[in-house]
Structure 1
Amino acid sequence: MDHERPDPTTTDVIERQGAFEDRDAWPVKGYCRIERALDLVGTRSAMLVIRELFYGGTRYEELTRRTGLSEAVVAGRLKQLHGDGIVERRPYQEAGQRRRDEYVLTDRGRALFPVIVALAEFGDVVSDDPRTGVQLVHRNCEAPLAPHVRCGEGHEVPLDQAAVRLRDEEHVTALRDRSRAQR
């Protein structure tokens, strides 16, 4: 069976530009910000812990109970998220108890808020019953939150107007060429 490649000018894909137009010339490792982000938070368990931190959970026991994950998994995720600068530990001590840590999102962790909103909206798209689950809303007017893609000038950008290019083409081309020469 002959499979035709879709014409990128007529399908909803992100247009490749510049040296990145030859996608096969660029290895995934080291060039993709999406991959780097997924290295930090790309597991289901990490996102469930992050969700609960956004919902106000701070203590290990809360995070374990509310995510439904095992203690070992939550402990591992918190250690990883702390090491990656997504959460910070803050000591607390209740009367008659030993000192413990609670966990709060750092600025880097709070930067995940648009991702949480986008995942929640996608969850609505794939839900069998749109009346179930939670809804993220604007507390002042109670309207549902929605993610939007905008450029630095403030324009909304639909998929068919998006493009991808190397951030600093000259720099990364030199790095890639040096790496190839060393092999």
Structure 2
Amino acid sequence: MDAQRTAAGQACSVARTMALLSDPWAVLIVRDVGRGIHRFDELARSLGVARTVLSRRLSALVESGIVERAGYREPGSRTRPEYHLTRRGRDLGVVLAAMMDFGDRHLAGPEGPPVVRRHAGCGAPVRLVGVCAEGHRLGAGDRVLLEPGPGAAPGSPAPDLEER
């Protein structure tokens, strides 16, 4: 059994998400489709990926419900597919934003990050923050406890863990 199927079968949301996005091309396709690049040729050009690889990855993303295929037609041409994120795909935006924040903090070169997210309303940089369901903003010193959820494996011990 390969690592992707093993991860997908775990009772762990992180493992299941990684199984879905385990291929770097899949993550970059989601990024570009989310940025408004919808057509196959534009995606191939933007990513610099082989067309066969792009075709397979797009098919997998469509099958997993992350991307949907829709037809468009230029005047005088045949109908061709373009790709849009589904609700499920748009929900990955926060995952990609977290990856971007990590890369900006730990992997950017001396010149700084290549892209800065800004709030359209005021122009301030956008940051990801943790907020509990009661609206409390979590700071660096706040403890977050991990406990078994409704999808935990039957008979699994309660995790004695906390995020740090």
Q: Same fold (TM over 0.5)?
A: yes
Instruction: Kindly name which structure, 1 or 2, has the bigger radius of gyration based on alpha carbons.
Output: 1
The aligned runs of 1:109-148 (5 Å cut-off) are 109-125=89-105, 126-148=107-129
Residue of structure 1 in register with 2:74 after alignment = 94
In the alignment, the residues of structure 1 paired with residue 47 and residue 126 of structure 2 have an alpha-carbon distance, to the nearest angstrom, of 23
Between 1 and 2, higher relative CO (CA 8 Å, sep ≥ 6) is seen in: 1
Question: 5+ residue gaps in structure 2?
Answer: 1-5, 157-164
2:145 to 156, 159, 163: 163
Number of matched pairs: 148
**1:37 maps to which residue?**
17
Deviations 1:29-81 (A, max 9, x none): 43100111111123211111111011110001111111122112211111111
Which residue identity does 2:150 align to in structure 1?
A: D
Task: Check conservation: 1:93, 1:100, Cα contact below 8 A.
Answer: yes
Q: How far does the alpha carbon of each residue in 1:71-115 deviate from its partner, in whole angstroms, 9 at most, with x for none?
A: 122111111110010011111111221111100000001101111
What is the aligned counterpart of 1:61 among 20, 41, 54? 41
Cα RMSD for the two superposed structures: 2.2
How far did 1:130 drift? 4.3
Find the counterpart in structure 2 of residue 6 from structure 1.
none
- Structure 1 length-normalised TM: 0.73
Say whether residues 1:79 and 2:59 are aligned partners.
Answer: yes
Q: Is the 8 A contact 2:73 2:79 kept in 1?
A: yes
Q: Which moved more, 1:144-153 or 1:48-57?
A: 144-153
Identity of aligned residues (%): 33
Provide the C-alpha distance between the structure 1 equivalents of 2:113 and 2:154, rounded to a whole number of angstroms: 49
Whether the 8 Å CA contact 1:124–1:130 is kept in 2: the answer is no
Task: Point out the structure with the larger strand share.
Answer: 2
CA pair 130-156 structure 1, distance change in 2 beyond 3 A:
farther
Would you tell me which structure has more helix in proportion to its own residues?
1
2:32 match = 52
Answer yes or no: is the 8 Å Cα contact 1:148–1:156 preserved in 2.
yes
